[in-house]
Amino acid sequence: MIPPKASGEFVAAMEQVLDVYRRPYDEGHPVVCMDETPRQLIRQVREPLETVPGHPGREDYEYERAGTCNVFVACEPLAGRRIAKVTEYKKRQDWALFLQDIAQAWSGAERITLVMDNLNTHSAASLYETFMPEQAKALRDRFEFVYTPKHGSWLNMAETRSTYSPASAWTGASTPSSGCARRSPHGSNAATSSMPRSTGSSPPRMRGSSYAAYIRRLKCVETLGSVDVLTQAATAARLAQNKERGEKFGHSK
């Protein structure tokens, strides 16, 4: 959608994002897309029946709400790589700490181009409110910030990845060993293990009752099955937006 009262501003920002997506792969200057999304936490009220030979596992339809959390996602489409982090909130400090995680995950890069939306926490000011000035400046210099247009955050490939198929973030695996989860000095949590498979848009139900149990079982780094998935999802989201509003995307020929 191109807002009629701000079409020039929208198109200018959109063209910048599309130009960034056209850049060839450069390991030293990766293009990384970043987004966050809220998730509802639910837990079982009755013990599920385990899968046994000849009988599939069974779960009762009743569940209990267990609050909410925030999921940060950063992906590099051309490399097929993604990291994620669950936090209790999405405050400035939470975003700054996730930016630090991105810098560490792409430690070999000279400078990271970061595509994201215009949320007010997504600014260099958040770094200076979280770290000492020298550390904040060093972290800021690692990034080139590129913002999607206002009302055009669907151009962010990380957003299409995290919203069109939330269940794809989870994979079935065993509970991680101790030490996989860590708590930051500011109270947010990160993990590097796996989450049970879910078939809906909500997170899988937890047998435990704590937020920490959910955090410990999130898989934070995974290889995407196909790099094309992100591009296809972004295109599909764009076309769906245009069809819904009856407006034409791009320039007329």
Does the pTM of the predicted model rise above 0.75?
A: no
**Which of these CATH numbers, 3.10.450, 3.30.420, 2.60.40, 3.40.1130, describes 8-43+62-242?**
3.30.420
List per-residue pLDDT tens for the chain, 253 residues long.
666 776 888 889 999 999 999 999 999 999 999 999 998 888 888 888 899 999 898 888 888 998 999 999 999 999 999 999 999 999 999 999 999 999 999 999 999 999 999 999 999 999 999 999 999 999 999 999 999 998 888 899 998 765 544 444 433 322 222 233 333 333 333 333 333 333 334 444 444 444 444 444 443 333 333 334 444 444 555 555 555 555 544 444 4
Which residue ranges make up each domain of the chain?
8-43+62-242
Question: What CA–CA distances, in Å, run from 22 to 77, 134, 191?
Answer: 11, 33, 32
The Cα–Cα gap between 145 and 166 comes to 25
